[in-house]
Structure 1
Amino acid sequence: MPDALDPRFADYAGLRDVELRKSLEAEHGLFIAEGEKVIRRAVAAGYPVRSVLLTRRWAASLDDVLAGLGDRVHVVDDDVMEKIAGFPVHRGALASMERRPLPAVAEILGGTSGAGAGAGDAPRRVLVLEDLVDHGNVGAIFRCAAALGVEAVILSPRCADPLYRRSVKVSMGAVFAIPYARMENWYSGLEELRAAGCRLLALTPDQGATPMDEAEMGERVALLLGSEGDGLSSRWLHEADEPVCIPMSPAAMDLGVDSLNVVAAAAIACHGLMRGTARP
């Protein structure tokens, strides 16, 4: 009977220890997919499986995915799973997946990355995230973007990792569906988007900005979305072609509710971003 200290389970150690996971995953080039649906979506997106760790009651439901993996499949009791992961794994299945090289921003904007939904078409609607550090928020925003038809996501250098376990889990695998890239340079990062023909819209809580549903939409639009606390930096706000806002109810403003959380704002803004984007 395997135990929690078995070296075959090293990929799954301390899943709630953020610093440990950042170091381990970077060193070994891996990420963790949790739950049957997410594992299936990771495999379907072409990520190679390093190993699978699951409890007995979940083995049958993943039979087709596990076929051919041989000794890379580890079936353990619930208590062993909890000791390895450091918490109760309610979905009963974890998979260690190999990361793939992240494409450059230019590849994503040119539609040449060859990965994810929409590969082969230059994206017309792009979401750009500046310094969002909460993994759950990043995952939720990817899910909103995928659901509402956004075709690519660009991350600033300090954004949280979309393939961190919590991001993947919250996104329900949507991080596998949208091509994304990370800027190398925050200071001049927007220049590459503008050079690709993107009109830059900066989402702000300032009610003096253009309402999102009245903003000018060009052939290619990139929506800039700022960090959880401070919003967009003054530099990115200044560099944008137009600041846009989500109009708030006057009654809400009277009560001091002058903005939405970043995920809710992203969902509404992504919906507005898609005006006039139907492809032939």
Structure 2
Amino acid sequence: MARVVEIDDAADPRLADFRDLARADRRPDRPGGRGLVLAEGTVVVRRLLASPYPPRALLGVARRVEDLAPDLAGVDVPAYVTDADTMAHVVGFHLNRGVLASADRAPTPDLAGLLAGARRVAVLEGVNDHENLGALFRNAAALGVDAVLVGPGCADPLYRRSVRVSMGHVLRVPFVPCDLDEAVAALRAAGFVLGALTPAGDPGAMAGLAGHERVALMLGAEGPGLSAAALAAADVRVRIPMAGDVDSLNVATAAAVAFHATAGVLVPGGRTGAP
């Protein structure tokens, strides 16, 4: 059971995991710093507690910590309870959601092992906006994507904003950081067809891509899109048909359309059937 500890001093050293979240040079969730995972709000904290990421501590107002009591029953971590003003002094801003949790990072999955059990994966290149990345992971979880390969130039999926925007689903969709050559070689070895989403692609190609047993959907940054090397590595270039003179979508929106188009039969709690 989590140990509830009441705290009224914002300078208490036990709150180090949650301090100065508004300071880019001090944030505890920076990969180059302490590299912690931070979950914000009861829904996201619940998903953290049910994830492979080892929890370290909670900080919240009494009502939010009480809401999480069933989820904390088998968790041996401190739950620091304080008032909203003290919490704001600790984190550096007023936190509307009233509770935070910290965790250590989980081990990175083995790429070949991860692909061995996957049917659809997303391959990202240069997706450097944390909110887009979080939304993309939420879409991946909702639409049955088995894994995400996080390529060069991408933001950190475990940055607090990405975790929050994903509603905690970044903590349940396995991902592996890897370079483009490594990703392409592993996908080819595992029998995946690579489809690159690009405004210069074939608007009729999505249906054909959906017919393959194993599909990797390649997505690039908004603006520059996929690199020439990524486009050259793809088996097919895919364009989402659009009306009027609009030539592209937000990357998370484009990902959702492509994930759904290649999903097969989706059911609550999972996916079954073929496209």
TM-score, scaled to structure 1: 0.85
- Contact 2:29-2:160 at 8 Å conserved across structures: no
Structure 2 gaps of 5+ residues are: 1-6, 266-270
Q: CA deviation at 1:14?
A: 2.2
For the aligned residues, what is the CA RMSD? 2.3
Aligned to 2:146: 151
SS in 1 for 2:180: coil
- Contact 1:104-1:182 at 8 Å conserved across structures: no
TM-score, scaled to structure 2: 0.87
Change in Cα spacing, 1:23 to 1:235, as seen in structure 2 (3 Å) is same
- Provide the C-alpha distance between the structure 2 equivalents of 1:143 and 1:19, rounded to a whole number of angstroms: 28
Structure 1 outlier segments of 4+, above 6 Å: none
Given candidates 218, 233, 237, the residue that maps to 1:239 is 233
Q: Could you tell me which amino acid in structure 2 is paired with residue 273 of structure 1?
A: T
Aligned to 1:160: 155
Bigger helix share? 1
Aligned to 1:180: 175
Q: Is the deviation greater in 13-22 or in 87-96? A: 13-22
The total of aligned residue pairs comes to: 263
Aligned to 1:61: 67
- Provide the C-alpha distance between the structure 2 equivalents of 1:224 and 1:3, rounded to a whole number of angstroms: 48
- Provide the C-alpha distance between the structure 2 equivalents of 1:231 and 1:188, rounded to a whole number of angstroms: 20
Q: Could you tell me the percent identity over the aligned residues?
A: 46
Change in Cα spacing, 1:214 to 1:25, as seen in structure 2 (3 Å) is closer
Is 1:270 matched with 2:264?
no
Structure 1 gaps of 5+ residues are: 111-121
Q: CA deviation at 1:68?
A: 6.4
SS in 2 for 1:126: strand
- Contact 1:200-1:241 at 8 Å conserved across structures: yes
Q: How does 1:1-280 map to 2 (within 5 A)?
A: 2-21=8-27, 26-67=32-73, 72-110=78-116, 122-183=117-178, 185-206=179-200, 208=202, 210-215=204-209, 217-249=211-243, 252-253=244-245, 257-275=246-264, 278-279=272-273
Q: Is the deviation greater in 129-138 or in 17-26? A: 17-26
